């Protein structure tokens, strides 16, 4: 390439380098990267400020992370939903370090847990193990929500997603929120989902988590979460002021607010009815599936039995399948002839066996020929002699023979045509002659 042509393309190369430099600057400023304008406008349309409090909900089975934000009336509404790129393990809580299991439970996220220098773009620590986990001796560390779409016990998002999620938390902390709550749940706690998982070893644990889920569904406010007697408790107001909840100690005397208790009672009653219906439906479907599986197993057993019998017959026949007789349409054992009225069914012939049916048929044919050869009473002597005369030998060429049954028949003569009558004149139409 000549120097002149190189100079010609230099502005284009510089423009490309400028674009890369802008992208690097935006990445270096990812911690303070503002939320997209479309999200800001959506918040304004839903009576939310950019710095109002948030909470997050994670549903493993659905693979969703939701961001909820407080509105002007104090209630929360969903502002964004993200598809989780990866989460490791299976449904159920985390128990120990190295089990590669993503945690489940209620976790508080404080500003100190935010990690702007994460090796996975951006992240925040979920705070596992919390006081509930520690009460059971569960271990683990560095359980994160992060970018890079790679997980080993964490909830992993894409870089673009975690950039927005981090921005929501950053702005809420700037607005004065002390901590935000993350609900990490196995699935949405609907009657149908709980019915599907009712046989899980974690079902009692999930029933406990469901209470906090239900309170949020009723109030649209993050529940107040405490731990006592190694159990999660939600929205409990102690009867004694300043009474504390200790994870391994007895729960202090406490109760739900009256309005919440009344609403939760009605909610739980309706939920239990739906749960019972869902269980009955699943039991019915399972019973049908079991019956279908049993019928299939029986059919397979019968087929195997038939195959075993066939194999035994082949082995008894020297390794060859038994010969099956094939009937010809022109044989005396023709199944169509066996359908004739008054005739017994024909027996199929085996190789080397004399054909009894053919012998019988030949005898009957000979008898009929003898009967036909005898002159009837109405026949004349010449006719009988003619019938009795031997047929000339023409070298195997068939010779027509008159039908003896037609000899005594007289063909009726056709009626002679009658002469047409002459037409009468018009004046004789009423005449008798």
DSSP structural state of residue 134: H
The residue from 20, 33, 146, 228 that is catalytic is: 146
Beta carbons within 10 angstroms of residue 18's beta carbon:
10
As a whole number of angstroms, the distance between CA 171 and CA 80 comes to: 15
C-beta of residue 389 within 8 angstroms of C-beta of residue 373: no
Distance linking the first and last C-alpha atoms of the chain: 136
Cβ contacts of 379 within 8 Å, gap of 6 or more:
387, 404, 407, 408
Active site annotation includes 228: no
Q: Is 22 helix (H, G, I), strand (E, B) or coil?
A: helix
Catalytic residue from among 85, 154, 215, 228: 154
- Closest by CA to 260, choosing from 225, 226, 236, 240, is 236
Q: Is 49 helix (H, G, I), strand (E, B) or coil?
A: coil
**Contacts of residue 102, Cβ cutoff 8 Å, sequence gap at least 6:** 60, 87, 88, 89, 94, 143, 151, 153, 154, 155, 184
3-state secondary structure of 367: helix
d(CA 109, CA 127): 7
- How many angstroms from the chain centroid is the CA of residue 251? 46
Query: Three-state secondary structure along 295-359?
Result: HHHHHHHHHHHHHHHHHHHHHHCCCCCCCCCCCCCCCCCCCCHHHCCCCCCCCCCCCCCCCHHHH
Radius of gyration of the chain (CA): 50
CA pair distance 340, 347, nearest whole angstrom: 14
| 154 counts as catalytic | yes
Residue 85 contacts residue 157 (beta carbons within 8 Å):
yes
Report the C-alpha gap between 388 and 402 in whole angstroms: 12
**Is there a cis peptide before residue 94, judged by omega within 30 degrees of 0?**
no
Q: Which residues have a catalytic role annotated?
A: 146, 154
């Amino acid at each position: 390439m000549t120097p002149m042509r190189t100079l010609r393309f230099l502005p284009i190369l510089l423009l490309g380098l400028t674009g890369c430099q802008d992208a690097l600057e935006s990445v270096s400023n990812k911690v303070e990267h503002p939320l997209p304008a479309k999200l800001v406008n959506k918040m304004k349309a839903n009576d939310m400020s950019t710095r109002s409090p948030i909470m997050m909900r994670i549903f493993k089975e659905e693979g969703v992370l939701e961001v909820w934000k407080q509105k002007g009336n104090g209630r929360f509404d969903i502002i964004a939903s993200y598809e989780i790129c990866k989460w490791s393990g299976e449904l159920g809580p985390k128990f120990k370090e190295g089990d590669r299991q993503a945690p489940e439970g209620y976790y508080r996220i404080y500003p100190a847990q935010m990690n702007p220098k994460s090796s996975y773009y951006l992240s925040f620590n979920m705070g596992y193990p919390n006081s509930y986990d520690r009460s059971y001796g569960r271990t683990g560390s560095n359980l994160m929500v992060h970018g890079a779409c790679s997980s080993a016990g964490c909830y992993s998002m894409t870089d673009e997603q975690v950039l927005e999620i981090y921005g929501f938390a950053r702005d809420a902390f700037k607005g004065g929120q002390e901590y935000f709550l993350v609900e990490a749940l196995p699935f949405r706690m609907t009657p149908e989902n709980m019915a599907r998982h009712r046989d899980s070893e974690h079902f009692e644990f999930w029933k406990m988590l469901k209470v906090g889920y239900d309170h949020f569904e009723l109030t649209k406010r993050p529940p107040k979460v405490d731990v006592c007697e190694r159990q999660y408790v939600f929205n409990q107001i102690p009867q004694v002021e300043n009474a504390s909840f200790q994870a391994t100690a007895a729960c202090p005397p406490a109760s739900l607010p009256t309005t919440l208790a009344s609403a939760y009672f009605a909610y739980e009653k309706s939920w239990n009815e739906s749960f019972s219906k869902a269980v009955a439906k699943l039991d019915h479907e399972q019973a049908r599936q079991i019956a279908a599986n049993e019928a299939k197993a029986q059919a397979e057993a019968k087929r195997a039995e038939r195959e075993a019998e066939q194999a035994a017959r082949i082995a008894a026949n020297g390794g060859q399948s038994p010969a099956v007789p094939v009937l010809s349409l022109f044989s005396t054992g023709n199944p169509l002839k066996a359908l004739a009225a008054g005739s017994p069914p024909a027996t199929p012939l085996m190789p080397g066996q004399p054909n009894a049916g053919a012998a019988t048929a030949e005898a009957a044919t000979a008898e009929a020929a003898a009967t036909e050869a005898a002159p009837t009473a109405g026949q004349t002597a010449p006719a009988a002699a003619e019938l009795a005369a031997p047929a000339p030998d023409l070298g195997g060429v068939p010779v027509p023979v008159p039908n003896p049954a037609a000899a005594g028949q007289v063909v009726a003569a056709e009626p002679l045509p009658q002469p047409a009558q002459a037409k009468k004149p018009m004046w004789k139409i009423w005449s008798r002659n």
